[in-house]
Structure 1
Amino acid sequence: MQKRWTVRSYQPKQEALLQASLRIHPLLCRLLVQRGMHTYDESRLFFRPTLADLHDPWIMKDMDKAVSRIEQAIFRHEKILVFGDYDVDGTTAVATVFDFLHTLYNNIEFYIPHRYREGYGISAQGIEYARDNDFSLVITLDCGIKATEQITWAAEHGIDFIICDHHLPDAILPPAVAILNPKQYDCPYPYKELSGCGIGYKLITAFAQKIGLPESAAHRYLDLVATSIAADIVPMTGENRVLAFHGLKKVNESPLPGIQALIQLSGLKEQLTISNLVFVIAPRVNAAGRMDDARKAVNLFIENDMEKAMEIAKVLHADNFDRKEIDGNITKEAVELIQNDTTLHNKKSTVLYKPDWHKGVVGIVASRLIDKYYYRPTIILTLSNDKVAGSARSVIGFNVYEAIHKCKDLLENYGGHFYAAGMTLKPENVPAFQERFEEVVATTINPELLIPEITIDTEISLKDITPAFFNILKQFEPLGPDNQRPIFLVRNVVDSGYSRLIKDEHIKFSVKQGRHPMAVTGIGFYMSDKFSIVSSRQPFDMVFTIDENEWNGKMNLQMKVIDIRSH
């Protein structure tokens, strides 16, 4: 797949000022300025985040009301239901709030809606369960901000709601006794990008303060908060960075039994990073809801006995194995559908439908098609409860939600945001929807957006890649949105004579630049089609990240090559 290279803009004056105060490599100052760090103090907070940097939870609108209502419920011996979404953010949030309150009060349960029987958010079944079992207070995590109709109905049946959500509110808010959501227009809380579990963490922090518990009572759940931040792809800035930094520390030093069990089953031996949480821990947690029942994930997180935690983790591990097999098979089928139909091959969008595809993995399949095969807005549809249901994913810069909105007359229901959305429709409307969506994409998308983009942070010389440089670069962790792993561009390198193909698929690079005598090594996975550029012994340009590689017990720096281009 051909890729566009875009080098980010530089701010030389700010970089020079920062370099004068930090006295580190100028390119590291460039990376910091690009991430919003302009002063010594901002950089210190970036490199050395402390829990003392977190904002006072009482600043959040309605925090006083939320804490008072929980206190009142405990005093009156009311039944409390902690209700959350079935994904990683929802299950970690429910586990955090439920387990914290359960250590103080026994008359409490949790509820996770079933992905297929109930769907996302506050379900009618969930409210009926609360009513039929005499729950008078429901605390929602990672959902509820748009459930005005359901919460109005619940209020009429004497059920109060405290909403903890981080999704964008509508103009009309649900009639809850308290709404904790920094994205409310009149909420003074300074940081707006917390995960759902992050907001739950703020609630238990405030409650702990109110009843005089030590701060460590909330710190127990930092590994769950870090897992939610990693999985929900929220910005790795401000409070999220502080919480992720200390959550990772806890993951590596004293994880909860459930997290420890998942780590052991995954076979990870090294220090865990955000990337490990995203690609190793989160899929196993998500698999519970995708393949069966997400209550298992909450039960795992709240289990204190290591043996029991391992038994639950094994079930999630098996669910994830099944999920991988299913989404691999569906991806293969989807690619074959496109390859065997030239009209599909040449479209500007992908909309595929097979009634027997597993609903729990259609979003993953859509993402895989974009990442590895056909870089264009993609929707995968399947049959579920006599309705066609699907997930959409987009390419960078194209608003897939808006495109779906223009097809709304063909849909039963839809929702989502810029890069991901979901929808349901009648089976007979599928062909018309495929045609309309293609028409919308073809007439509105900038053709350039159909070529994958690599955003490069800065040019670099091979001589700059030193252990001292990398030691500071490592401290950019935890990485994530708005603080991605730095990507470098080096120009005019030549093969040192030792580059070679590995297993006919990958390239092991050994390159030199100019008069610099030292060769720098790198690895390029699945880049064998570019080997002719390397072996020509002519200069070429290379885009890469910097990594460590252990060989014979010795650590060496290496480039992880993303793309190369001949002159």
Structure 2
Amino acid sequence: MSVTSSPAPPVRRWSAAKINAHQGSAPAITGDPVVDALLKLRGIGPDIAEPFLNPNLGNLTDPLSLPQMEPAAKRVLAAIAAGESIALYGDYDVDGVTSLSILKFGIEALGGRVHCFLPHRMDEGYGLSDDGIERLLNECQPDLVLAVDCGTTSKAEGEILAAQGIDLIVIDHHQGAEETFPPAIAIVNPQLGPDQHYLCSAGLAFKFLHALQKIDPSHRKAFDLRSVLDLAAVGTVADLVPLEDDNRLLVTAGLKRLANTQHPGLRALIQVAAVGERPIASDIGFRIGPRLNAAGRLDSALDALHLLTAGDDAEALAIASALDAQNRERQTIEAEVLKSALAQIEALHGSDLPAALVLAEPEWHPGVVGIVASRIMRRFHRPTFIIGFDESGMGKGSGRSIQGINLVEHIDKARHLLVKGGGHAAAAGISVQRDQIDSFRAALTASIAATTPAEVFIPEISPDIETSVDQLNLDLLNRLDQVAPFGMGNPEPLMIVRHAGCVGEPRKLKDKHWKFRITDESGGTPIDAIWFSGCETHPELPAGPWDIAFMLQRNVWRGRESVQLLIRDLRTSE
């Protein structure tokens, strides 16, 4: 894909590495100077190192400490005992479908009558909606609705259910103002309490089942909570929430179960996504998650839900293969929207990038706007909204932000221009009329520009570890694995080697990625390196020798393990 029709990305500022692998300080925790220094960087001192390095599910926070968890759990237990119809109304992303799967497995195991409902992205949009509720009531006659991964800001929709005499429980982690809360038996949302703000809905669903068993211990024999740990891990990693405290416990335990999962759907996903024998968090983020998301992005997420709740391997493999094909279609659509968005940046702004990018086009598929927003945000280091339009002409936008800029705060200042809007500091969704897009762009840009220091818009390469090629081996990788799983809140260590050279000629893969082998003055064995999407920002590589910023990764080929560099940036050495 040509990139000449868009402004050049901002030049990154490189800072010094925080750890020198050749000059490690005396180890005080693990006996390894590099690992100990990395733990110190992550704020992990000797007093809390043990539970961090050896996560134990016994250390999970009491589920009843979550806001309104107890009345919510008691209402569901009463519904199960009375044989009431329980509808699970979810969201079409990975967090949404894993949450519904977890709750379906757990509540049905206790004898509950469960109906799962997912809104259609194009027809009904995100969360509770008039159209979605109407279809739900036509499909089943629920006595109780659990709004999962949505519902916190659905006041009007909650009032519709209340008028029908239907109880509502919200299990959600999105932010919202009190005046938008729906009438409900309970709103189980960590954002309403003093802590556990890191939880996503998959983690909340797990803790909800834990609460059911804590209130009525007789249910423990009916359902093994550990059986849904892998689903909780998939939802947690895919939703990009911090891997701290309970999330770290759930993901660590869930990844272990994922390797030998008892769920046919996850087994099939692992097969079609070519996940190795030892799944890691990035396998969820880059292999499993995109395939689960593909269904909801392009059509209905029901296929993803049916996959996760499939009862046999043959059924699961057929659905997983269809999702894999949908994911390839999604990639094609995404590339087209990205190319169009880059051209629009050039047309709107030339080389003078504003404080925020708000891009809209009727032909853009609403199912890929979030991915494209992430790509544009990372490329230009600007908060970005990408807006497509549904069949009614309503603009459906997805926003992504950079560190230091809270999207929700700035959306609130422009809320009068929106039909709907909400989310997190780093990601948000909006609904906007077409004739308000220019006004929203101006208001959002002005709000961000007026409150954000200039240095926030300069991307930084801030390496954790400076090392040399001769130290890049499986031994170092295995030592660093003590700090895993890596993800939000516990990023994979960023390393740097200096004065590295290329062995042979660099290769372009699909005119998009760079691949080559590197060595340096240490005389280490040349190592494979790949720079995904590197051709987009660097159509030609700079003159060597190079300073290279990268993550060290495990590569398994025909049963043999080696290390490779996943490049984040490179520059000519000073």
**1:142-157 alignment to 2 at 5 Å?**
142-157=149-164
- Among 74, 79, 83, which residue is 2:80 paired with? 74
Q: What amino acid maps onto 2:210 in structure 1?
A: T
5+ residue gaps, structure 2:
1-8
Shift in Å at residue 498 of structure 1? Answer: 3.8
Q: What amino acid maps onto 1:291 in structure 2?
A: L
Q: Are 2:211 and 1:203 equivalent residues in the alignment? A: no
Residue 425 of structure 1: aligned partner: 432
Q: Are 2:315 and 1:308 equivalent residues in the alignment? A: yes
- Among 47, 53, 59, which residue is 1:53 paired with? 59
- Among 219, 237, 242, which residue is 2:226 paired with? 219
Shift in Å at residue 93 of structure 1? Answer: 0.6
**1:448-487 alignment to 2 at 5 Å?**
448-460=455-467, 464-465=471-472, 467-487=474-494
Shift in Å at residue 73 of structure 1? Answer: 1.5
Residue 148 of structure 2: aligned partner: 141
Paired with 2:447 and 2:70, the residues of 1 have a C-alpha distance of 47
Q: Are 2:12 and 1:3 equivalent residues in the alignment? A: yes
| Partner SS state of residue 81, structure 1 | strand
Shift in Å at residue 168 of structure 1? Answer: 3.1
* Cα contact 2:18–2:463 (8 A) shared by 1: no
Paired with 1:554 and 1:85, the residues of 2 have a C-alpha distance of 40
Distance 1:502 1:55, change over 3 A: same
Q: Are 2:506 and 1:501 equivalent residues in the alignment? A: yes
Distance 1:156 1:16, change over 3 A: farther
Distance 1:457 1:106, change over 3 A: same
Paired with 2:264 and 2:272, the residues of 1 have a C-alpha distance of 12
* Cα contact 1:284–1:320 (8 A) shared by 2: yes
Shift in Å at residue 481 of structure 1? Answer: 1.0
* Cα contact 1:522–1:560 (8 A) shared by 2: no
Q: What amino acid maps onto 1:195 in structure 2?
A: C
Q: Which has the higher contact order (CA 8 A, sep 6+)?
A: 2
Residue 381 of structure 1: aligned partner: 387
- Among 501, 507, 529, which residue is 2:540 paired with? 529
1:253-294 CA-to-partner distances (Å, cap 9, x unmatched) read 124111111222223344221111111111121122111112
* Cα contact 1:327–1:364 (8 A) shared by 2: yes
* Cα contact 1:205–1:215 (8 A) shared by 2: no
Deviates further, 53-62 or 321-330: 53-62
Which TM-score applies when normalising by structure 2?
0.86
Distance 1:159 1:302, change over 3 A: same
| Partner SS state of residue 220, structure 1 | helix
Paired with 1:437 and 1:53, the residues of 2 have a C-alpha distance of 42
Residue 168 of structure 1: aligned partner: 175
Paired with 2:222 and 2:42, the residues of 1 have a C-alpha distance of 30
* Cα contact 1:169–1:184 (8 A) shared by 2: no
**1:78-97 alignment to 2 at 5 Å?**
78-97=84-103
Residue 294 of structure 2: aligned partner: 287
Q: Are 2:180 and 1:181 equivalent residues in the alignment? A: no
Q: Are 2:337 and 1:330 equivalent residues in the alignment? A: yes
1:483-506 CA-to-partner distances (Å, cap 9, x unmatched) read 110012344x354x8454234973
Residue 271 of structure 1: aligned partner: 278
Shift in Å at residue 228 of structure 1? Answer: 0.4
Q: What amino acid maps onto 2:493 in structure 1?
A: P
Paired with 1:438 and 1:541, the residues of 2 have a C-alpha distance of 35
User: Max radius of gyration: which structure?
Assistant: 1
Residue 537 of structure 1: aligned partner: none
1:296-318 CA-to-partner distances (Å, cap 9, x unmatched) read 22221111111112222233223
| Partner SS state of residue 116, structure 1 | coil
1:169-224 CA-to-partner distances (Å, cap 9, x unmatched) read 534554322332333236xxx63322201111112123245234249622111111
**1:109-148 alignment to 2 at 5 Å?**
109-128=115-134, 133-148=140-155
Q: Are 2:548 and 1:542 equivalent residues in the alignment? A: yes
Paired with 2:315 and 2:559, the residues of 1 have a C-alpha distance of 36
| Partner SS state of residue 462, structure 2 | strand
Shift in Å at residue 446 of structure 1? Answer: 3.6
**Percent identity over the alignment?**
33
Residue 27 of structure 1: aligned partner: 34
Q: Are 2:304 and 1:297 equivalent residues in the alignment? A: yes
Q: What amino acid maps onto 2:238 in structure 1?
A: A
Shift in Å at residue 31 of structure 1? Answer: 0.8
Deviates further, 127-136 or 232-241: 127-136
Paired with 1:443 and 1:421, the residues of 2 have a C-alpha distance of 20
Deviates further, 313-322 or 253-262: 313-322
Shift in Å at residue 131 of structure 1? Answer: 5.5
Report the count of equivalent residues.
547
**1:350-369 alignment to 2 at 5 Å?**
350-369=357-376
Distance 1:16 1:518, change over 3 A: closer
| Partner SS state of residue 533, structure 1 | coil
Distance 1:519 1:405, change over 3 A: same
Paired with 1:412 and 1:342, the residues of 2 have a C-alpha distance of 24
Paired with 1:269 and 1:322, the residues of 2 have a C-alpha distance of 24
Distance 1:7 1:139, change over 3 A: farther
Distance 1:337 1:101, change over 3 A: same
Paired with 1:115 and 1:313, the residues of 2 have a C-alpha distance of 20
Distance 1:378 1:61, change over 3 A: closer
- Among 246, 257, 274, which residue is 1:250 paired with? 257
Residue 98 of structure 1: aligned partner: 104
Distance 1:9 1:303, change over 3 A: same
* Cα contact 1:62–1:179 (8 A) shared by 2: yes
1:52-103 CA-to-partner distances (Å, cap 9, x unmatched) read 2223323334433233222222222221111211211111111111122223
5+ residue gaps, structure 1:
535-539
Paired with 1:558 and 1:142, the residues of 2 have a C-alpha distance of 37
Paired with 1:289 and 1:558, the residues of 2 have a C-alpha distance of 33
| Partner SS state of residue 82, structure 1 | strand
Paired with 1:436 and 1:359, the residues of 2 have a C-alpha distance of 22
| Partner SS state of residue 423, structure 1 | strand
Deviates further, 409-418 or 272-281: 409-418
